[in-house]
Structure 1
Amino acid sequence: MKILIIGYMHPKFDKRVYRTVKTLSKVHEIIYQYLTNKDEKEYIDGNIEYIPIKDIKETKGNPLKKLINRKPLDKKICNLVSEKNYDILYMHHFLASIPLEPFKIAKKRNKKVVYDIHEYHPENFLAELEGIIGNLKVKTVWRFFKKQLELSDLTIFVSEETRKDVVDKTNVDKEKTYIIPNYANFIIKPDIQKKRKEIVLVGKVTRKIEDEKKILKSLIEKGFKFKVIGMDSKEFMDIPHEYTNFLPYDEMMNELSKAMFSLISYNTVKNRDYKNDIYALPHKFYDSLAAGTPVIVKESFVSMAKQVEDLGLGVVIDPANLEESVEKITNACKNYASIIKNVEKHQKEFIWNEEKEKKFIDLISHLIK
């Protein structure tokens, strides 16, 4: 069986995308499209045919120009969907300028379609649009998003909360859905003796942490240090901190394992009810726990907060409440050994392993009977 995997704007080794490529290539032939900023040639390695498409010129600040600039890329990908020989089309995003076209082409060719939804698309797509235009954009995206779901034979979500919300809004068949969170790659057994009195923020994309800074400053006065792993940003200039540049995954996990807590509380956009955040189970959440580091999670991040509270994996805070948040974190320090035991007990749930891999391969394989 052949599977055409469209990475779209994702780079070759994007963690979630490349995991599907490597996993499915163990039993099927894969045609893999990814984005690059270099002059790369197509090549075949084992069961994988790699198809690089060179980066297009992005236009900052103007959503309309961004869409126009995507057209050449989107056309190239549609040509792949039209011309390549495959049994399953696996979409890791939709094409911005022609969001329904690859789904329609694949169905017209009697191919199966898998739609792996990384983000809450109606809000995340062109998230910078606000006000009346922003509301109109959300309504427009919901219309074609619902159609995309109807054209898909299997839809994959990152959390149960995202799936429930989308299924409730669109009435798509829940039996044709599946959940794959952004699992970590491996476990580092926590060693409480090696923990630093340090709170880390992980990620290569800058997040707004205005309320969290007040909490961090108070904790710094109590002897904590603040470290940013993976980026240097002006966003943190007004708070004492250390930082690292982007680190390879193994190094990032090793650095993360030494921290006392991992901070997962921020604002991506002005809207505090942004579902792309509140229903997310991001890499940094699973990586932190797999590295043996308890998490500090914003209470509005319901998907993460539920797991943290149910399993005792760290602290859930309301960043707007400074005193309460600081008290919760300092109290967690007194109960730290117990929290570490909970993290260690559940670490296997946070990694991609052979059992999860087999279920995923069987799920995809059974689409073609």
Structure 2
Amino acid sequence: MRICMLTSSHNIFDNRIYYKEILSLKKYYDDIYLIAPGDKDFVTEDGIKVRCFKKRRSWYDRLRPMRDMFNIAKEVNADIYHAHEPDSFQVAVKLKKRFGKKIIFDSHEYYPEAFAEHFGGLFEIAKKMIYIYEKSIAIHADYIVTVNDILVNKFKEYNNSVELITNYPVLEGEINKTYSEKPVFVYAGGLSEDRGILKTLEAIKLSKKDAKYLFIGNFRDKETEDRVMDYVANNLKEKDVEFTGRIGHKEVIEYLKKAYAGFVLLQPKNWRYVNSEPIKLFEYMMSKTAVIASDFPMMASIVEAERCGVVVNPVEPKDIAEAIDYLIDNREIAIKMGENGYRATVEKYNWEINERKLLIIYRQIEGEMVGS
């Protein structure tokens, strides 16, 4: 059986698409293609055949890339097409209508809300229109997979074949921590205001304790970088703050081995963040790192139930600073929180559980193909 993943905007080596879903399916299926934006076709070291089309020039440049994707997908002639955005799924629907292909819609973002953000004051109107469009294509899916209960319930209103496949991390084996005398606090990910970078720095200024702070990742834009660096230069001269830039996955793991606690301080202005289970939370837990997390219901319920960190109001630097100082003053509790988080990922918050569910879906669709 030939499988083809479709993505209009994600990176070829996207964590969920490539390292989780594709490599899980590769254990059982040999013939797998990925059609994605890129410069040239190639075969990965895992034997995945990558077919590329030119990236879109801006967020509204959508028609030409989709025509290119359809033409490549038609040539690939797969049995199942697995699409990761509404516009790539529109291509899958076209393949189903014309050639009878089986199709899966993988909705791992709040796409209507995200796309409507481009329309400013017309956000609510745009969101409503995109919801209508999403429903008009999603009803054609042979299966819909998605990442949380909010999205599961939304899609179940008009498609009976919906499965929860969360974005939990792939277990990488137990990490042996090496704590230094000075506690190391880490943030790993994109650096932007809506992910809490400025509030975190304001909290560091208020903290009464000595610690090292590592920020791993790229700034979203030059404006944010300038604001952050100005704040650090003017307010944190006495603090041990380091920005590493973007580094490789293995290097991130090395930093996490030394991490005392990690920040997941998404800001409430973004509805999508409030109603999410960020992968960063589980990556910290998997590395035995205590977390300081936003007090949003979905995130807080996990942190509190697993006793793996502290939840705070992410817009209040004073609350964040108090959490930093609490963890520094209570070393044994912080270490225990890290161990609790690791145990929870081994027991339930890991990709291996989802891998089994994904395979069941493919086996079911494969059985329908044989029986038809």
- TM normalised by structure 2 equals 0.83
Higher helix proportion, which one?
A: 2
Distance 1:187 1:160 in 2: 28
Distance 2:104 2:47 in 1: 19
What residue in structure 1 maps to residue 217 of structure 2? 230
Task: Give a deviation string over 1:290-338, Cα, whole Å, max 9, x none.
Answer: 12211111112x3222111110111111123444443344334412233
What residue in structure 1 maps to residue 222 of structure 2? none
Is 2:303 the partner of 1:308?
A: yes
- TM normalised by structure 1 equals 0.84
Native 8 Å contact 2:287 2:342 kept in 1? no
The one-letter amino acid paired with 2:52 is P
What residue in structure 2 maps to residue 61 of structure 1? none
Residue in structure 2 matching 1:30, options 28, 32, 49? 32
Residue in structure 1 matching 2:82, options 63, 84, 90? 90
Structure 1 residues 55 and 323, CA, compared in 2 at 3 Å: closer, same or farther?
closer
Residue in structure 1 matching 2:114, options 98, 112, 124? 124
Q: CA deviation at 1:136?
A: 1.4
CA RMSD of aligned residues (A): 2.6
Distance 1:153 1:275 in 2: 29
Is 2:65 the partner of 1:73?
A: yes
What residue in structure 1 maps to residue 243 of structure 2? 243
What residue in structure 2 maps to residue 150 of structure 1? 139
Is 2:272 the partner of 1:276?
A: yes
What residue in structure 1 maps to residue 130 of structure 2? 141
Native 8 Å contact 2:186 2:256 kept in 1? yes
Distance 2:212 2:46 in 1: 47
Distance 1:223 1:49 in 2: 50
Q: CA deviation at 1:27?
A: 2.1
Structure 1 residues 330 and 160, CA, compared in 2 at 3 Å: closer, same or farther?
farther
What residue in structure 1 maps to residue 370 of structure 2? none
Native 8 Å contact 1:11 1:35 kept in 2? yes
Q: CA deviation at 1:124?
A: 1.0
What residue in structure 2 maps to residue 326 of structure 1? 321
Residue in structure 2 matching 1:178, options 153, 156, 164? 164
The one-letter amino acid paired with 1:218 is L
Q: How does 1:284-299 map to 2 (within 5 A)?
A: 284-299=280-295
Q: CA deviation at 1:185?
A: 4.8
Structure 1 residues 235 and 347, CA, compared in 2 at 3 Å: closer, same or farther?
farther
Distance 1:321 1:311 in 2: 24
Is 2:204 the partner of 1:212?
A: no
Task: Give a deviation string over 1:55-78, Cα, whole Å, max 9, x none.
Answer: 3433xxxxxxx32x3322111112
What residue in structure 2 maps to residue 16 of structure 1? 16
Native 8 Å contact 2:179 2:260 kept in 1? no
Q: How does 1:258-277 map to 2 (within 5 A)?
A: 258-267=258-267, 272=268, 274-277=270-273
Is 2:252 the partner of 1:256?
A: no
Structure 1 residues 46 and 191, CA, compared in 2 at 3 Å: closer, same or farther?
closer
Structure 1 residues 11 and 211, CA, compared in 2 at 3 Å: closer, same or farther?
closer
Distance 1:119 1:41 in 2: 27
Distance 2:54 2:171 in 1: 28
Q: CA deviation at 1:274?
A: 3.0
Q: CA deviation at 1:90?
A: 0.1
Distance 2:47 2:217 in 1: 33
Structure 1 residues 46 and 368, CA, compared in 2 at 3 Å: closer, same or farther?
same
What residue in structure 1 maps to residue 360 of structure 2? 362
The one-letter amino acid paired with 1:295 is V
Is 2:187 the partner of 1:201?
A: yes
Native 8 Å contact 1:33 1:50 kept in 2? yes
Distance 1:114 1:313 in 2: 35
Native 8 Å contact 2:276 2:298 kept in 1? yes
Q: CA deviation at 1:141?
A: 0.9
> In percent, how many aligned pairs have the same letter?
20
Distance 1:73 1:254 in 2: 38
Distance 2:342 2:90 in 1: 44
What residue in structure 2 maps to residue 109 of structure 1? 99
Q: CA deviation at 1:213?
A: 3.2
For the residue of structure 1 that corresponds to 2:112, the secondary structure is helix
Native 8 Å contact 1:154 1:178 kept in 2? no
Distance 1:82 1:310 in 2: 48
Structure 1 residues 223 and 257, CA, compared in 2 at 3 Å: closer, same or farther?
same
5+ residue gaps in structure 1? 59-65
Distance 2:189 2:45 in 1: 31
The count of corresponding residues between Structure 1 and Structure 2 is 346
Distance 1:196 1:158 in 2: 37
Distance 2:288 2:227 in 1: 27
Structure 1 residues 249 and 46, CA, compared in 2 at 3 Å: closer, same or farther?
closer
The one-letter amino acid paired with 1:102 is A
Task: Give a deviation string over 1:40-98, Cα, whole Å, max 9, x none.
Answer: 2355877632212233433xxxxxxx32x3322111112234443222110011328xx
Structure 1 residues 187 and 137, CA, compared in 2 at 3 Å: closer, same or farther?
farther
Native 8 Å contact 1:104 1:151 kept in 2? no
Q: CA deviation at 1:24?
A: 1.4
